[in-house]
Amino acid sequence: MENTSKQRVMQCIIIAVFSVLMLLISITYIPCFEGGCALAFISFFVIVSSLAVAGILFYPMAKAHDAVINDTELMAHWTYDPKWQSQIITYEYEEHKERNKVMLIVIDGMILIVAFVFMIFVPEGGIETGIFMIGIAILMFVVAKITPGYYRKQKEKMPAEARISRKGLIYQGKIYPYSGFLYKCNRVTYKEGKKPVLIFDFFQLTGGRIYDPFEIKVPVPVSEKEKAKDIADTLFSH
């Protein structure tokens, strides 16, 4: 199974390298009061953010993914009906498009406002800086429109399965370590019904002592109910 978190690490590094080049260009060729300082600040922010996300978020997830895949004592490994998987992927695709739409309205809107401020109120270099920032906004628009379809195709290649280990959970090709930077899995519960599920209860710290809970529901094959109950009873007992 492909470790997508490793790909995310490389993508963050590529973005950081590109931003370093932008930072050097802004320092070397663009005077500070003609937009150079603004471009330098944005580039530096992207560099720090990209490396932080790679090191704090994606690298630990990449390690956890390998740990689960290589675990010789998996608690469960379940595969699902491809039709069911297709329905889930379609739902997530629509959800991804909606999130990107909101992101574009907020971030691209801010970039465009700043760009027009430079073009109107900065007499020297303002137009060039504004055009550059508009280019960034256009690039973000294109990326936001492309990525949902890209990730949908990537997920369609993933096996319709769940791997449950004492080291983490892999569900629909995505890794969920039981603990990480500002988040943790509190418990696992089994819910009976027509479609029994294991519910992994996570929380993440989103602010000063603000805990934002979220759930990962893993469908349980009918023949695996007893194993699922055992997982819920014993997973965090050691």
* In the predicted structure, residue 230 carries a pLDDT above the cut 90: yes
Q: Measure the CA–CA gap between 62 and 38, rounded to whole angstroms.
A: 34
Q: What is the pLDDT of residue 55?
A: 87
Q: What is the pLDDT of residue 188?
A: 92
- Average the pLDDT over 192-209 and give the result: 78
> Is position 27 within any domain?
yes
- Do residues 86 and 152 both lie within one domain? yes
Percent of the chain with pLDDT over 90: 18
Q: What is the pLDDT of residue 64?
A: 83
- Do residues 178 and 198 both lie within one domain? yes
Q: What is the pLDDT of residue 200?
A: 94
SS3 214: strand
Quote the domain boundaries for residue 44.
1-70
Q: Are strands 174-176 and 183-191 parallel, antiparallel or unpaired?
A: unpaired
Domain's final residue, options 159, 188, 203 = 159
Residue 20, C-beta contacts closer than 8 angstroms, at least 6 positions apart: 43, 47
Q: How many domains does the chain have?
A: 3
Nearest to 88 by CA among 225, 219, 215, 204: 219
Domain's final residue, options 70, 102, 127 = 70
Q: What is the pLDDT of residue 238?
A: 54
Q: First CA to last CA across the chain, in angstroms?
A: 28
> Is position 127 within any domain?
yes
Taking only Cα atoms into account, the Rg of the chain, rounded to an integer number of angstroms, comes to 22
- Average the pLDDT over 15-39 and give the result: 84
- Do residues 140 and 189 both lie within one domain? no
Q: Nearest 5°: CA angle at 80, between 192 and 88? A: 85
- Do residues 153 and 180 both lie within one domain? no
> Is position 75 within any domain?
no
CB 136 within 8 A of CB 118: no
- Average the pLDDT over 33-46 and give the result: 82
- Do residues 87 and 61 both lie within one domain? no
* In the predicted structure, residue 204 carries a pLDDT above the cut 70: yes
- Do residues 86 and 154 both lie within one domain? yes
- Do residues 49 and 91 both lie within one domain? no
* In the predicted structure, residue 171 carries a pLDDT above the cut 60: yes
* In the predicted structure, residue 190 carries a pLDDT above the cut 90: yes
Average pLDDT, rounded, for the chain: 85
- Do residues 169 and 230 both lie within one domain? yes
To the nearest 10°, report the CA torsion of 177, 178, 180, 185.
140
* In the predicted structure, residue 2 carries a pLDDT above the cut 70: no
**Range scoring the smallest mean pLDDT among 7-16, 82-91, 205-214:** 205-214
Question: CA 179 → CA 66, 169, 187, 194, 228, distances in Å?
Answer: 15, 11, 11, 31, 21
> Is position 198 within any domain?
yes
> Is position 76 within any domain?
no
SS3 128: helix
Q: Measure the CA–CA gap between 190 and 179, rounded to whole angstroms.
A: 20
- Average the pLDDT over 118-132 and give the result: 84
* In the predicted structure, residue 29 carries a pLDDT above the cut 60: yes
CB atoms within 10 A of CB 94: 11
Q: How confident is residue 28, by pLDDT bands cut at 50, 70 and 90?
A: confident
Query: Cα 201 to chain center, whole Å?
Result: 19
> Is position 13 within any domain?
yes
Q: How confident is residue 89, by pLDDT bands cut at 50, 70 and 90?
A: confident
Render pLDDT for 142-164 as a digit per residue (tens, 0 to 9): 988 898 898 888 778 777 889 99
- Do residues 148 and 165 both lie within one domain? no
Q: What residues does 215 pair with on adjacent strands?
A: 201
Q: Measure the CA–CA gap between 57 and 6, rounded to whole angstroms.
A: 11
- Do residues 85 and 43 both lie within one domain? no
- Do residues 65 and 92 both lie within one domain? no
Question: CA 141 → CA 4, 104, 112, distances in Å?
Answer: 23, 7, 12
Domain's final residue, options 105, 139, 159 = 159
- Average the pLDDT over 31-38 and give the result: 77
* In the predicted structure, residue 176 carries a pLDDT above the cut 60: yes
> Is position 107 within any domain?
yes
